[in-house]
Amino acid sequence: MGILIKIIDKCLSKYVNYKYKCVLSKLGFCGKNVSLNTVRIHNPHNVFLYDNTNILPGFIFISHRGQFFFHQGSAAAQNLTVVTDSHIRKVGKLFKDEELFYKYKDNISENVVVEEDVWIGTNVTLLPGVTIGRGSNVGAGTVIRGKVPPYSIVSGNPGKVIGFTFTPEEIIEHEKALYPEEDRLPLELLEKNYEKYFLKRLKEIKEFNRL
């Protein structure tokens, strides 16, 4: 019995590795040191995974034309869902009318972008048009519907900025160690974001954190 179990395990392992390689080979782009586990991807050619990225099991990608860009050094926990397209309604047509529901010709498509060094918690949903800025942290269960500034901490449904991973000055030092000068974010932008999304919203953020 023990030998049979070993044979079955070996066969399963080979099958899983084969399926994994098949998925990666169909992606729009797959960089070095990419880890992608147990996925459901509609139109894999619209998925672009860059170097040193990791998406844990349960990843669902729903797309017709919209693309998903997951940039270097980013990672996502279990059950990430990315949606890049929205069905439309038309007067005099049922929602599941074949022309509307299956042919996608009038659907609204927007890319979803996760920039470098982003951490995404479990059970997060990213909707069409989302951009998550470099160095951000997204809390478990968050639903993001818009753009997220770099180095922000985001939580809730809809996702709201509730803080930043570093101060603007710390981000400058952080990026000096990681990125060439031409790719670093300017202090002026970082200070503007810090004031707009954090300092001017302290009361709102404190109330949110009490929930």
Domains, the chain, ranges and CATH? 13-210 (2.160.10.10)
Q: Indicate the pLDDT class of residue 65, thresholds 50, 70 and 90.
A: confident
Q: Using the predicted structure, report yes or no on whether residue 16 has a pLDDT greater than 50.
A: no
Q: What pLDDT, on the 0 to 100 scale, is given for residue 99? A: 60
pTM score of the predicted model: 0.85
Each residue's pLDDT tens digit, 184-207:
999 999 999 999 999 999 888 888
Each residue's pLDDT tens digit, 146-175:
999 999 999 999 999 999 999 999 999 999
Q: Using the predicted structure, report yes or no on whether residue 18 has a pLDDT greater than 60.
A: no
Q: Transcribe the chain into DSSP letters.
A: -HHHHHHHHHHHHHHHHHHHHHHHHHSSEE-SS-EE-SEEESSGGGEEE-TT-EE-S-EEEE-SS--EEE-TT-EE-TT-EEE-EE----TT--TT-HHHHTT-TT-EE--EEE-TT-EE-TT-EE-TT-EEPTT-EE-TT-EE-SEE-TTEEEETTTTEEEEESS-HHHHHHHHHHHS-GGGSPPHHHHHHHHHHHTGGGHHHHHHHHH-
